[in-house]
């Protein structure tokens, strides 16, 4: 049952993400920007965060940024476990036979590329900060301070994505796990302690943050299509 | 109060064998090993089962109950329905010696590949000092009781006989982690991990962690940190550049 659920959820997310990226509309309703398009880096954005590529980029601006969080999740140690089990059946479950008769693990191309995970971690690190910036911007409605349901959704999404990123195994290694004498590096020891505590829930953060991104985009999309109006708290 | 129970136990040796059904009784608080001992005493005196402490600390009575690797002495009978037939089989990953006893010597042969603890030179006063924070990480690994359930459930070993000679498996990765992360150890084992112990074969599906009776977080605390150390050695140009610069200054 578990592999089936994993296949269903991950496939649905990939299909939804691809659809959203290529449809390239309805991702901004002032002041909410969908996380699939943040940061928006081209002139053809509905709301440009930073017009880095100007008019040189003619495709969906989501394509400029999505490879980084996608690569981070694809090479993530937790997701690897999830899709090796559910998609590749290697193995489908503990003590259940592998689907394939030969096995080389992550020693050969293409799976040896999983070792680039820490680079995707570096590339994914700015995203929670940018999304937090988006969430803070979402406290302003036509120049006035305010808060709507969308503000809370964007804020929760940024926090969940931050927890997922900082609980990453590569992060845990880089902040202190790679050294044996933590007693001689007090700052790294503290960082490693925090990362270790977060890392224990990496799987939960992986799933919740995935749904967070999905819900945030869906919320903005429904608002943009006028399905309902954003409830304002003040 | 005792209840009737049916066990299907694998009987045989390296040449082959079959499951045989035994009906006996079980009392409140018993574990499967108690029931197997009752069968051994009353119905099958020649039934071979390895056991020692009956407290989950010697790692001798590893077997597969209803297909799940576990310690017979730690698997309570009240986990099963009374009308359920319980299947007990030897560890699948290792050759059967007889009945429920398997030959796990492969693990000891592989362990010979791991260089032992090699202490750094002592301090000027001739002693060694360690801080608790530095040693507590490896203390988790010292809880290992060598039941080899992790080795048995690991699909790299279990389903691929050809990997057995060049894949050390979770038990030995714990061993290497306990040495490589030790604050006083001077030997570098990263190339050994990548080249001879087959760390890259592990695809971190965490079955070893799921079956560990000592609840050692094998994958998160040993295997993945070791993989990250190998990445730093083999695949990280930033670390490589830093090392080069440091060696020139």
The pLDDT tens digits of the residues spanning A133-172 come to 999 999 999 889 999 999 999 999 999 999 999 999 999 9
Question: What are the extents of the domains in chain A?
Answer: 2-93+107-224
Mean pLDDT within A112-128: 95
Q: Does B58 touch chain A (CB under 8 A)?
A: no
Tell me how far apart the alpha carbons of residues B245 and B143 are, in angstroms, rounded to a whole number: 40
CA distance to A72, A184, B177, B186, B189, per residue, from B116 (Å): 36, 25, 12, 10, 10
Put simply, the answer to whether B236 touches A118 (Cβ < 8 Å) is: yes
pLDDT of B241: 80
| pLDDT at position A15 over 80 | yes
CB A28 within 8 A of CB A37: yes
- Burial class from Cβ neighbours inside 10 Å (0-12, 13-18, 19+) for residue B56 reads middle
Chain B positions touching A115 (Cβ under 8 A) are 227, 231, 234-235
3-state secondary structure of B238: helix
Contact B228 A85 (CB under 8 A): no
Q: Which residues have CB under 8 Å from B37's CB, separation 6+?
A: B49
Chain A residues near residue B206 by CB distance under 8 angstroms: 81
Give me the phi and psi of A77, to 5 degrees please: -60, -35
Question: Is B222 touching A (CB cutoff 8 A)?
Answer: no
Q: Hey, what domains does chain B have and what are their CATH numbers? A: 3-102 (3.10.20.30), 105-248 (1.10.1060.10)
Cβ pair A103:B231 closer than 8 A? no
A2 touches B at CB < 8 Å: no
- The reply to whether B156 touches chain A by the CB within 8 Å rule is yes
Reply yes or no on whether the pLDDT at B1 is more than 70: no
Q: Return the residue matching tokens 């971190």.
A: B204
| B133 contacts in chain A (CB < 8 Å) | 182-183, 189
B228 → closest Cβ in A98, A103, A169: A169
The answer for A 3-42 residues in CB contact with B (under 8 A) is none
- Say whether B131 and A183 touch across the interface (CB within 8 A): yes
Q: How many CA atoms lie within 13 A of A50 on its CB side?
A: 8
Out of B137, B156, B224, closest to residue A103 by CB: B156
> Which candidate in A91, A95, A115 is best for mutational testing of the B interface (most B CBs within 10 A)?
A95
Q: Tell me the pLDDT tens digit for each residue of A192-204.
A: 999 999 999 999 9
For B142-163, what is each residue's pLDDT tens digit? 999 999 999 999 999 999 999 8
Round to whole Å and give the CA distance between B88 and B104.
Answer: 18
Query: Which string of DSSP letters, residue by residue, matches chain A?
Result: -HHHHHHHHHHHHHHHHHHHHHH--S-EETTEE-GGG-S--STT-SS-S--SSGGG--S-THHHHTHHHHHHHHT-HHHHHHHHHHTS-SSSSTTS--SSS---TTSSTTGGGGGGHHHHHHHHTHHHHHHHHHHHHTTEETTEE--BHHHHHHHHHHHHHHHHHHT-HHHHIIIIIT-S-GGG-HHHHHHHHHHHHHHTTHHHHHHHHHHHHHHHHHHHHHHHTTSSPPPB--
pLDDT of A138: 95
């Amino acid at each position: 049952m578990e592999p089936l659920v994993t296949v269903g959820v991950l496939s649905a997310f990939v299909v939804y993400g691809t659809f959203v990226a290529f449809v390239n509309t309805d991702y901004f309703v002032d002041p909410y920007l969908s996380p699939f398009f943040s940061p928006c880096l081209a002139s053809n954005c509905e709301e440009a965060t930073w017009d880095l590529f100007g008019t040189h980029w003619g495709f969906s601006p989501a394509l400029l940024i999505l490879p980084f969080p996608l690569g981070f999740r694809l090479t993530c140690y937790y997701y690897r476990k999830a899709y090796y089990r559910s998609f590749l059946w290697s193995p489908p479950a503990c003590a259940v036979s592998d689907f394939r008769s030969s096995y080389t693990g992550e020693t050969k191309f293409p799976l040896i590329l999983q070792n680039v995970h820490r680079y995707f971690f570096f590339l994914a690190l700015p995203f929670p900060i940018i999304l937090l910036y988006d969430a803070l911007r979402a406290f302003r409605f036509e120049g006035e301070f305010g808060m709507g349901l969308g503000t809370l959704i964007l804020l929760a999404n940024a926090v969940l994505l931050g927890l997922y990123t900082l609980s990453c195994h590569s992060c845990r290694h880089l902040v202190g796990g790679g050294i044996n004498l933590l007693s001689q590096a007090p700052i790294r020891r503290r960082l490693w302690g925090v990362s270790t505590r977060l890392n224990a829930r990496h799987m939960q953060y992986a799933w919740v943050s995935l749904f967070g991104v999905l819900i945030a985009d869906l919320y903005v999309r429904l608002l943009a299509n006028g399905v309902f109006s954003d409830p304002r708290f003040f | 109060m005792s209840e009737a129970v049916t066990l299907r136990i694998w009987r045989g040796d390296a040449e082959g064998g079959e499951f045989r059904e035994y009906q006996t009784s079980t009392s409140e608080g018993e574990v499967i090993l108690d029931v197997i001992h009752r069968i051994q005493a009353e119905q099958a005196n020649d039934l071979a089962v390895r056991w020692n402490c009956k407290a989950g600390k010697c790692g001798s009575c590893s077997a597969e109950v209803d297909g799940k690797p576990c310690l017979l002495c730690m698997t309570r009978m009240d986990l099963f329905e009374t009308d359920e037939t319980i299947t007990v089989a030897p560890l699948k990953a290792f050759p059967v010696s007889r009945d429920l006893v398997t030959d796990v010597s492969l693990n000891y042969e592989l362990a010979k590949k791991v260089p032992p603890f090699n202490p750094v030179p002592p301090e000027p006063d001739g002693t060694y000092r360690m801080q608790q924070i530095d040693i507590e990480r490896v203390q988790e690994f010292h809880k290992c009781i060598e039941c080899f359930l992790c080795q048995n459930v690991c699909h790299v070993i279990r389903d691929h006989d050809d990997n057995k000679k060049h894949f050390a498996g979770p038990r030995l990765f714990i061993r290497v982690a306990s040495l490589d992360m030790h604050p006083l150890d001077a030997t570098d084992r990263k190339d050994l991990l990548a080249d001879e112990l087959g760390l890259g074969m592990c695809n971190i599906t965490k079955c070893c962690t799921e079956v560990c009776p000592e609840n050692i977080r094998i994958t998160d605390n040993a295997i993945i940190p070791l993989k990250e150390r190998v990445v730093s050695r083999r695949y990280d140009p930033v670390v490589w550049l830093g090392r080069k610069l440091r060696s020139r200054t």
